[in-house]
Amino acid sequence: MEIETKEFRTSKNQTGALTFIEGCKDILFEINRVYYIYDVAPGERRGFHAHKTLEQYLICVHGSCKILLDNGMEQSTVQLADPNEGLYVGPGTWREMYDFSDGAVLLVLASDYYTEDDYIRDYQAFLDYVRNEGIR
Ligand code: TYD
């Protein structure tokens, strides 16, 4: 499956780097929530869910991690290791995050507030969901 990444604008000089992300320009959905994942113990894997409507950008702002994406037909993996790279994860995409480096911080920009109703946490239910969505 196709991986959609975006390189955010960055100002770099001898003093350091500054990456900036602007609503409507860099991110086309309305950002209603920001959260970040960190302190992930070695070998741990997270995610194991899809969302029905949520859109997200995942940015590994420190360290690196790998993301498995699955649309019910195909899978792809991507390593995020650059703080100015964002990975788009849209609705109906199963995701797993793993291989977090020591101290990695995964920042997520999300289109909506947290609600458990938007989650599909069972893989078989996810497959049924995307197949039924495809028929419509
Ligand atoms: P979850 O999305 O399952 O984490 P991951 O995909 O990284 O494994 O969320 C873990 C817990 O945190 C779960 O109990 C729901 C809660 N949570 C919130 O309360 N608000 C949030 O914005 C998020 C993302 C999670």
pLDDT in tens, 109-130: 999 999 999 999 999 999 999 9
Residue 35 CA, ligand 1 centroid: distance in Å: 9
**pTM score over 0.85:** yes
Other C-beta atoms lying within 10 Å of the C-beta of residue 135: 5
What pLDDT does 88 receive?
Answer: 98
Give me the chain's average pLDDT, please: 96
49 flagged as catalytic: yes
Let me know: does 66 contact 99? Beta carbons within 8 Å.
yes
**62-68 average pLDDT score:** 98
Report the distance separating Cα 107 and Cα 83, nearest Å: 9
Mutate to test the pocket of ligand 1, among 31, 39, 56, 114 (most ligand atoms within 8 A of CB): 114
Per-residue confidence (pLDDT) for residue 133, from 0 to 100 = 82
What is the pLDDT confidence band of residue 17, given thresholds at 50, 70 and 90? very high
